[in-house]
Amino acid sequence: MRKRRSCGGVWVSDTARRPRICVAGAGSIGCFVGGLLVQAGHDVRFLARSRIIEAVARDGLTLTDYSGLDLHLTALAMTDDPAEALAEADLVLVAVKSGATAQIATDIQAFAPHAQVISLQNGVANADALRRALPQADVRASVVPFNVVAKSGAAFHRASSGDILVEAGPLPSLGNPHLIWTPHRDIAAVQWGKLLINLGNAINALADMPLLDQLHERRWRRLIADQMAEALHVLRAAGITPAKTTAAPPHLIPHILRLPTPLFRVIAAQMLTIDAQARSSMWEDLSRGRPTEIDALQGEILSLAERNGRQAPLNTRMHALIKAAEAAGKGPPGLGVDDIRQ
């Protein structure tokens, strides 16, 4: 008989059974993380859209990355039925977009109310939203630092590095040489640090160009820097200190981005260790005609600014331009720096 974990979050079983895992939201991050867990021998079910289910059934799931990983998986347990995906789940990895958090919380409450839950989502508010909806569950926030690009069919390419940081506490063993999970005692500060970096997602989506190409052009870097500096002023007014999520602390990143390109390439070499294929998830959302997570990124900065009597005109501009691109439904608009700064 299957036994649940104890109230302390420690897995118990009659045998050495690994937990049953549900990846709730098999998009780029969900497929990549879930696929590596399958490779490591875990019992994984994927809650996915029909497009992904059909592509995996036809071609299998292919995972590649910047370091040479080349993995092909078949016969995965994929469904678009929450009841089937969540049945008897011990651990739910939530990888849906921020706008779908309320619905997935309802599904978890209905079909896996005692499962441990880890949010793999962008932004700073999703784990708290899950906790409010699932008061009996052990919900953990996390930060996924790497970028995953969706290729054709069911192929996904990790284009940058980093370990997944998880709010400290008891967790099942999820080890895999290609997927490291590291506990962190101040995950909220890390989330804010990651949000600052993710503010650049909108610029990349509006420009319709690879991230690496943007970082090699000073005019684009200065735009990214100005938006980040504006957000840092808002966080400071709110009494929030973001944690370092790159080699440089957050308050120095705008200064580094503004450096002349030859000097930037030397000082910020680690920022340039990303795959030439890398683009932002927001670019992918516009390309596929999906709602973006702009409200969970720039929207959070605008809410903080309003509550603390501050202005954030550049973040306001990014928010408006992405909303306009969503409404137009024509994909990334391919704007230039001057168009965005207008």
Residue 289 maps to which CATH number?
Answer: 1.10.1040.10
Q: How confident is the model at residue 8 (pLDDT cuts 50, 70, 90)?
A: very low
Domain count, the chain: 2
Domain closes at, from 185, 214, 245:
185
Domain match, 95 and 234 both: no
Which residue matches tokens 């959302």? 285
Of residues 332, 277, 293, 322, the one with CA closest to residue 95: 293
pLDDT computed for residue 94 by the predictor: 98
Q: Provide the whole-model pTM.
A: 0.89
Q: What is the dihedral of CA 251, 256, 257, 261, to 10 degrees?
A: 180
Domain match, 156 and 270 both: no
Length of the chain: 342
Q: What is the dihedral of CA 99, 185, 227, 207, to 10 degrees?
A: -50
Domain closes at, from 163, 185, 207:
185
Residue 2 located in a structural domain: no
Under 8 Å between Cβ of 167 and 189 = no
The residue-averaged pLDDT of 108-131 equals 97
Task: Classify residue 40 as left (phi > 0), alpha (psi -120 to 50) or beta.
Answer: alpha
pLDDT computed for residue 105 by the predictor: 98
pLDDT computed for residue 247 by the predictor: 81
Does the structure show a pLDDT above 60 at 14? no
Q: How many CA atoms lie within 13 A of 284 on its CB side?
A: 19
Domain match, 106 and 226 both: no
Domain match, 51 and 179 both: yes
pLDDT computed for residue 1 by the predictor: 32
Residue 3 located in a structural domain: no
| CATH number, domain with residue 102 | 3.40.50.720
Domain match, 147 and 278 both: no
Does the structure show a pLDDT above 90 at 337? yes
Domain match, 199 and 163 both: no
Residues 6+ apart with CB under 8 A from 324: none
Domain match, 33 and 176 both: yes
Under 8 Å between Cβ of 271 and 259 = no
Q: How confident is the model at residue 17 (pLDDT cuts 50, 70, 90)?
A: low
Residue 234 located in a structural domain: yes
Residue 330 located in a structural domain: yes
Residue 13 located in a structural domain: no
The residue-averaged pLDDT of 300-322 equals 98
pLDDT computed for residue 164 by the predictor: 95
pLDDT computed for residue 160 by the predictor: 85
Range(s) of the domain holding residue 152? 20-185
Of residues 227, 273, 265, 217, the one with CA closest to residue 246: 273
Domain closes at, from 185, 218, 236:
185
Residue 10 located in a structural domain: no
The residue-averaged pLDDT of 206-227 equals 96
User: If you compute the radius of gyration of the chain from its CA atoms, what whole number of angstroms results?
Assistant: 20
**Average pLDDT taken over every residue of the chain:** 92
Residue 261 located in a structural domain: yes
Residue 15 located in a structural domain: no
The Cα 83–Cα 80 span in angstroms is 9
Of residues 332, 300, 293, 298, the one with CA closest to residue 318: 298
The residue-averaged pLDDT of 332-340 equals 97
Domain match, 148 and 231 both: no
pLDDT computed for residue 270 by the predictor: 72
Domain match, 93 and 210 both: no
Domain match, 67 and 173 both: yes
The residue-averaged pLDDT of 92-114 equals 97
pLDDT tens for residues 123-173? 999 999 999 999 999 999 999 999 898 888 899 999 888 899 999 998 888
Which residue matches tokens 């790159």? 246
Domain match, 139 and 57 both: yes
Under 8 Å between Cβ of 90 and 113 = no
Domain match, 159 and 43 both: yes
The dihedral sign for the CA sequence 332, 337, 341, 342: negative
